[in-house]
Amino acid sequence: MLQLELPDHERQVLCARAIWICVGCETCLSRCPKEVDLPRAMDFLRQEALAVDTVSPDASDIVAFHRAFLGSIERHGRLFELGTVLGYKLRTGHLLQDAALAPSMIRRGKLGALPHRTDRQAAAGIFARVRALKEPGK
């Protein structure tokens, strides 16, 4: 896609599931003899796929997770784990996923019922300004 700049390749890549399975472990960059910045390319491809709305249906749950995660930060400034997981379940319909895990997490004190709060206005402000820069006028 990068070398030949043919539209077919672009379509193929942006619709691919692979860009969402990539977790950003950066092993590829570490091994590449030409130090091609693949993690950066992956980030870019993900953002492009979102912008032109070609996210692979196979990856919809992964995107849903990211959206739930970021939604939590926008709302609370920090990750509200319970809220994020519930948000994910609602978006994907995987209502029972990890349901068994919840009680053991709570028992171990690892799942708080309430979000940790910080300066919510600051967080919301950041998200709003980022959005404004991308879509001026909205």
Which of 6, 18, 102, 130: binder of other proteins (CB under 8 A)? 130
Helix (H, G, I), strand (E, B) or coil at 48: helix
What is the distance between the alpha carbons of residues 54 and 14, in angstroms, rounded to a whole number?
6
Do 82 and 113 touch, CB atoms closer than 8 A? yes
Q: Where are the alpha helices (DSSP H) in 77-119?
A: 81-92, 101-107
* CA atoms within a 13 Å half-sphere pointing along the CA-CB vector of 118: 10
Q: Convert residues 57-86 into a mask of x (bound to other proteins by CB under 8 A) and - (unbound).
A: ----xxxxxxx-xx--x---xxx-x---x-
Contact call for residue 12 and other proteins (CB under 8 A): no
Contact call for residue 104 and other proteins (CB under 8 A): yes
Residues in contact with other proteins by the rule CB under 8 A: 20-21, 23-27, 29-35, 39, 43-44, 46-47, 50, 61-67, 69-70, 73, 77-79, 81, 85, 88, 92, 97-98, 101, 104-105, 108-112, 116, 118-119, 122-123, 125-127, 129-130, 133-134
